Amino acid sequence: MGLTYPGGIEALRSVDLSVAEGGFVSIVGPSGCGKSTFLKAVAGLMPITSGTLTVGHAAGGEPAVAFVFQSPTLLTWRTVAGNVALPTELGRTRRGRDIRKANELLSLVGLDEFAHRFPTELSGGMQMRVSLARALMTDPRVMLLDEPFGALDDLTRQRLNEDLHRIWLRDRWTGLFVTHNVSEAVYLSDRVVVMSRRPGRIVADVPIALPLPRTPDCRAEAAFGEYVREIGARLREET
């Protein structure tokens, strides 16, 4: 598939990527190479201009897709539980059920005690947990995450990586995760793809053969470090 903006700037060229159902693929590449544009195209937020793009099996129809953005994008005038329940409110009358589910998801991300607080009362990492819980509210089969932890400190980021990995193992949705952090990509993924400078193309596709589930200790293992070095070296060739 390819995508050229109306002004003539070619963002993506001949991107060829297939992701197995239930897989988790991270995308790394230089700034401005089209990583976020690719996710938006998968989400249907931007039309491609060449090639084809299929989300889900042709026979099974399009699956529910959720998008977690770089910033939490929470509504400051709604409670945490109200923000999480928001995706299911339109067209629904069973508000009590939605709130119960929202509270269950908040418990999953470790924020059940903050259900009645407001976003301004939470740290940045806690707000991203709320954003993740909100994305899970619709039981998505495809999860698109556009560098959601990039603005967080390293310790908070690692803990959120561990939470996200645990939730993926539990639910086994298909994940596409954009990041600039190679260690994060290796920890979370069964594959890491590297994109070129704009126009973005996939120039490397690295399977990550580390055992599941991943534990915090795996970051200190030699195999983990080797993957980080391999992908980092390939990424430096594109910058």
Domains, the chain, in order of start with CATH, read: 3-63+141-236 (3.40.50.300), 74-138 (no CATH)
CB 178 within 8 A of CB 27: yes
In this prediction, residue 187 carries a pLDDT of: 98
- Residue 62's pLDDT is what? 63
pLDDT category at 94 given cuts 50, 70, 90 is low
Residue 91 has pLDDT above 80, yes or no: no
Long-range pairs of 21-24 with CB within 8 A, sequence gap ≥ 24? 21/57, 21/141, 21/174, 22/172, 22/173, 22/174, 23/174, 23/175, 23/190, 23/191, 24/168, 24/174, 24/175, 24/177, 24/188, 24/189, 24/190, 24/191
pLDDT at 199: 94
pLDDT digits 0-9 by tens, 195-214: 999 999 999 999 999 999 99
pTM of the model: 0.93
What pLDDT score does 64 carry? Answer: 86
Confidence of residue 55 (pLDDT cuts 50, 70, 90): confident
Residue 58 pLDDT greater than 60, yes or no: no
| Tokens coding 178 | 């954009």
Sequence-separated (6 or more) residues with CB below 8 Å from residue 220: none
CB 111 within 8 A of CB 143: no
What is the predicted pLDDT for the residue at 57? 58
Amino acid at 38: F
- Percent of the chain surpassing pLDDT 90: 85
Band (pLDDT 50/70/90 cuts) for residue 87 is confident
The stretch 161-183 carries a mean pLDDT of: 96
Going by pLDDT thresholds of 50, 70 and 90, the confidence category of residue 175 is: very high
Number of alpha helices (DSSP H) and beta strands (DSSP E) in the chain: 7, 8
Q: What phi and psi, each to the nearest 5 degrees, are found at residue 95?
A: -60, -35
More confident residue, 115 or 91: 115
pLDDT digits (tens, 9 = 90+) for 1-18: 999 999 899 999 999 999
Query: With bands split at pLDDT 50, 70 and 90, how would you rate the model's confidence at 238?
Result: confident
Strands (DSSP E) contained in 29-170 are: 65-68, 142-146
Q: Which residues pair with 202 in a beta bridge?
A: 195
